[in-house]
Chain A
Amino acid sequence: MLDVLGHKAFLGLHNMGRFARFIWDAITASLYSISNPSTYSLIWTQMHIIGVRSVPVVMITGAFVGMTLAVQAYDQLAGMGLEEHLGVLINVSVVKELGPVLAAIMLAGRVGGALTAELGTMKVTEQIEAVKSMGTDPVKYLVAPRVLACLLLTPFLIIFADLMGIMGGYFVSVIQFDINARAYWEFSASGVELWDVSIGVIKGFFFGCAIAAISCYKGFTCKEGAHGVGEACTEAFVASFISILALDFILAIMAKTIYSMFWPLKSLV
């Protein structure tokens, strides 16, 4: 029993060590890519695949988040005669929390799954070894462009999700529930601060980085065969999902601490 536990603990530590080393390699390779314009075409290609093609699904996600929030919250607020405050509730929730998190989860499924499947297939068909055999670092060639594309574009995708969430909330609140549009926007503007929007967008950098790093790692370390690739894709999604939620929690605490430290200074500004 102790033997098994010890072996599992050792294996877990070993995998964490491998992942940490992979992250370090990915960071150094990404810094190399940023400083080397000849690699920009690779990043550009990945930006198109990862970013541009994800716009529709992320927008749809955002729109449904906004609409659902409006439907769920209307009855409670209308019961207290506060239905005109619906905009604050929807928009703060969308830009600060639900927009970034749900857009990131959608990306973990769409982009993360594709990255793991692509790199995993490359691994089992020896294409990654082929890159290495030609004197090229596979992390520089395959991982860095994908990490940079995810890192740079996830915040933009979150802005799209936020916009659509705001539109969706507006559509249900004003068109369907007949809330006064002017009051809806005025309460929204007074309740949503630049800080709220910024924090949501900043989360995007962390989420994008986590999705790309985990997905690429799982692709690079996937086992042989179709089963191996499938398993790697599942593991990549689950690990990305948990990382997004854990990062969201940590970033929420950090944001709250920073906000309460600097909030008293706001009146001076």
Chain B
Amino acid sequence: MSNGNGDNQGVVTKDDGVVVLKNVVKKFGENVVLKDVSLAIEKGKTTVIIGPSGCGKTVLLKHLILLLRPTVGEVYFKGERIDEFNEHDLDKIRTNYGFLFQGGALFDSLSVAENVLFPVRQHYKITSKSGIDELVRTKLAMVGLDGFQNYYPGNLSGGQRKRVALARAIALNPEVILYDEPTTGLDPIRADIINELILKMQRGLGLTSVVVTHDMTSAYKIADRIIMLHEGKIYADGDAEHIRNHPNQIVQQFINGRVSDDDLEVLRMSGTISRSEFEPLDLEE
């Protein structure tokens, strides 16, 4: 079903996707961050969630793995309602996910190899050292960092940290991988390496990916579907072409990185800045 703008909207059922949010509302005190959001994440596709800072993208992403629980609404994983699970049962469900945090969230006290092995150690008994070494090597090779096993996170660049975090996120061979602003803080070349890795994960391994970003270059490159979130609601939903030609002004302002007329007016009202305002301060030292 679609609305007047051609967006995918309408009633979402629990079997519409591998992860489904149904009428999710999230409040922090009086602040309502998500307002009745319904969303089905399709299996094997890359869904990109875009939107201005503070609109609730990361909050939405964390609901997909229930790192945050909805105030109202339902969350389904493969048709099973999981928002009513206790933490112990959720731990089992979470092994089906990989989560790439914005800053990587690598454990500083563990080496790269130990970081990658962390989830494996938590869920499996390790009996063969050679098997483990091979597993770490394979995962690091997938992100182009084989040979960095003995490095510590403090010795890695921002891009390398994110790649190690990605290797850790895929260590348990998850079905769904969630990326929280994977290219933020990286130069365009490093950002493109991450984009290529996301595509490689999806095409090579058939993973279902959900990416939160405000990097439109990245969004257009990797997305099968783009969802725009604004003020806690889904504003636009469709493929890259659909979003590019979206008639809504807010969507256009965001994807083209243009400030709104209202915000411009506020800036103009604050007056012009003259050189005299930058004279040395007439204050006692």
Q: Which residues on the B side are within 8 Å of A133 (C-beta)?
A: 65, 67, 94, 97, 99, 101
- Which residues from chain B contact A137 at a C-beta distance below 8 Å? 87-88, 91
Are A125 and B95 in contact, with the CB atoms below 8 A? no
A residues near B105, Cβ cutoff 8 Å: 125-127, 129-130
Q: How many residues of B contact A (CB 8 A)?
A: 26
Task: Tell me, yes or no, whether A134 is within 8 Å of chain B by CB.
Answer: yes
| Residue A132, interface by CB 8 Å | yes
Count A-B pairs with CB separation below 8 Å: 51
**Quick check: B101 and A134 within 8 Å, CB to CB?**
no
Q: Are B118 and A134 in contact (CB under 8 A)?
A: yes
Q: Assess whether B88 is in contact with A135, with CB atoms less than 8 Å apart.
A: no
User: Cα distance A266–B170 when bound, in Å?
Assistant: 65
Interface presence of B92 (CB below 8 A)? yes
Q: Which B residues, 56 to 93, have Cβ-Cβ distances below 8 Å to chain A?
A: 62, 65, 67, 87-88, 91-93
Q: Are B91 and A135 in contact (CB under 8 A)?
A: yes
User: B-facing mask of A217-258, CB < 8 A → 1, else 0?
Assistant: 000000000000000000000000000000000000000000
A263 CB, nearest partner CB in chain B, Å: 48
Q: Which of B62, B65, B91, B107 contacts A127 (CB 8 A)?
A: B107
| From B107, B108, B119, B125, contact of A135 by CB (8 A) | B119
Q: Give the bracket for the number of chain A residues in contact with chain B.
A: 10 to 19
B-chain residues with CB within 8 Å of residue A136 when the two chains form the complex: 91, 119, 122
Task: Tell me how far the C-beta of A45 lies from the nearest C-beta in chain B, rounded to whole angstroms.
Answer: 9
Query: In the complex, A135→B65 CA distance in Å?
Result: 10
Shortest CB distance A52–B (Å): 17
B206 close to chain A: CB less than 8 A = no
Known: A133-B99, A135-B93. 11 other contacts (CB 8 A): A126-B105, A127-B105, A129-B101, A130-B99, A133-B94, A133-B101, A134-B94, A134-B95, A134-B122, A135-B119, A141-B122
